[in-house]
Amino acid sequence: MSDTMDLRKAVIQSLQDAGADIVRFGNVERFSDPCLKKLMPEVRTVIAAAFRQLRGSRRGIEEGTTYYQYTTMSVENLEEVVMPMALHQACGVLEMAGFEALPQRRNLLVMAENDGTNPEVDYTEIYRGIPQENHLDFEQCAIDAGLGERGLSGSILTDEFGPCIRWVFILTDAELEPDPVAVPHLCDKCGACIAACPGKALSADGKRDNWQCSVYYNGANRSKNPFMPPDAFADDPERLAIIAGEAELTPERAREVLDQIVFYPPIKHAYRSSICGKACDTACYIHLEETGKLTRKFKTPFRKRPEWKLSVED
């Protein structure tokens, strides 16, 4: 077996030992993101590693009980602990073989847009106006690497876990055999992701309004937030519309509403506790499971009872 095949196997093994569920290799020529060459002009191969979000981490939100597992385990822990460790180890394997390896994890606190936001983090902690050409397009690179396809919601859908993954990349000057790009076959445009959003943050074509999403990711819809106290938004003139998920919020108004959301302790690293639990992705997962498209099977379906909703009037 050639040295590069041995190295490829060693990188896969290293990533899997560190918890990766899907590993894909792509030759740089097939990637459309020009940022790759800016970050590493000699890059030959892009390696993508996806990590499952445990299905059970969504159980508390599904049942309306405890909510922190999703954000701590399936966002913060993956982003801040599991994936950096995996990157460090796998990059070490490449560098021990004499190749340079550039780890790429998302930086959720920087963005190009001057008035953009990221629902997963505290909007006041974001550094805006950082040129986009210095940041990978994580979604497009995931597709080009062969991890999966883009669903209507914008989430990357995989055969194994649907949209319930987080992922990282390694850029290397090692030339390693590529995997094929995935042929889209999962998203059937069912619209379940759009219908599931508690704040109408996804338009009919799946475009996400990130400020609207931030407000409802953080739990502004009373019907899906068991932690909201009776006097929430008491002085807000749009109180009823907000808690009913009907308010159409400008970025300025969204910030005002977010400043009133103090119902649940924040996660460190500026992460905000997800109250919607990415209901768009959960609905997609349920749909893909129901239609038999997921290759990773469970003994019981995720949704076991009719979805609960609290009364907005009470």
| Angle at alpha carbon of residue 265, lines to 260 and 267, rounded to 5° | 115
Give residues 192-211 in contact with ligand SF4 (rule: CB under 6 A). Answer: 192-193, 196-197, 199, 201-202, 208
Q: Count the Cβ atoms, other than its own, within 10 Å of residue 179.
A: 17
d(CA 43, CA 29): 10
Tokens matching residue 306: 């009719």
**Segments of the chain assigned E as strands:** 22-27, 45-52, 101-104, 110-111, 127-128, 149-150, 156-157, 165-172
Using CB under 6 A as the binding rule, whether residue 280 contacts ligand SF4 is answered as: yes
* Closer Cβ to ligand SF4, 97 or 263, answer by number: 263
Which residue among 28, 187, 243, 258 contacts ligand SF4 (CB under 6 A)? 187
Using CB under 6 A as the binding rule, whether residue 152 contacts ligand SF4 is answered as: yes
**Bridge-partner residues for 110, per DSSP?**
127
Q: Count the Cβ atoms, other than its own, within 10 Å of residue 293.
A: 15
| Angle at alpha carbon of residue 68, lines to 210 and 163, rounded to 5° | 50
In the complex, minimum distance from the CB of residue 261 to ligand SF4, in angstroms, rounded to a whole number: 13
Q: Which residue is nearest to ligand SF4 (CB)?
A: 151
In the complex, minimum distance from the CB of residue 189 to ligand SF4, in angstroms, rounded to a whole number: 5
d(CA 174, CA 46): 9
Question: x-or-dash pattern for ligand SF4, window 227-266, by CB under 6 A?
Answer: ----------------------------------------
Answer yes or no: are the C-beta atoms of 165 and 53 closer than 8 Å: yes
Which residue among 216, 233, 264, 271 contacts ligand SF4 (CB under 6 A)? 216
Which range touches ligand SF4 (CB under 6 A), out of 88-96, 174-182, 191-199, 296-304?
191-199
**Bridge-partner residues for 45, per DSSP?**
27, 172
Which range touches ligand SF4 (CB under 6 A), out of 70-78, 182-190, 222-230, 306-314?
182-190
Give the distance, in angstroms, between the CA of residue 282 and the centroid of all CA atoms in the same chain.
Answer: 12
Which 3 state secondary structure label does DSSP give 296?
Answer: coil
In the complex, minimum distance from the CB of residue 109 to ligand SF4, in angstroms, rounded to a whole number: 18
Using CB under 6 A as the binding rule, whether residue 119 contacts ligand SF4 is answered as: yes
In the complex, minimum distance from the CB of residue 114 to ligand SF4, in angstroms, rounded to a whole number: 21
Which range touches ligand SF4 (CB under 6 A), out of 79-87, 148-156, 164-172, 229-237?
148-156
Tokens matching residue 160: 């194994």
Which range touches ligand SF4 (CB under 6 A), out of 33-41, 106-114, 184-192, 257-265?
184-192
d(CA 57, CA 65): 12
Q: Which residues contact ligand SF4 (rule: CB under 6 A)?
A: 119, 151-153, 187-193, 196-197, 199, 201-202, 208, 213, 216-217, 276, 278-280, 283-284, 287
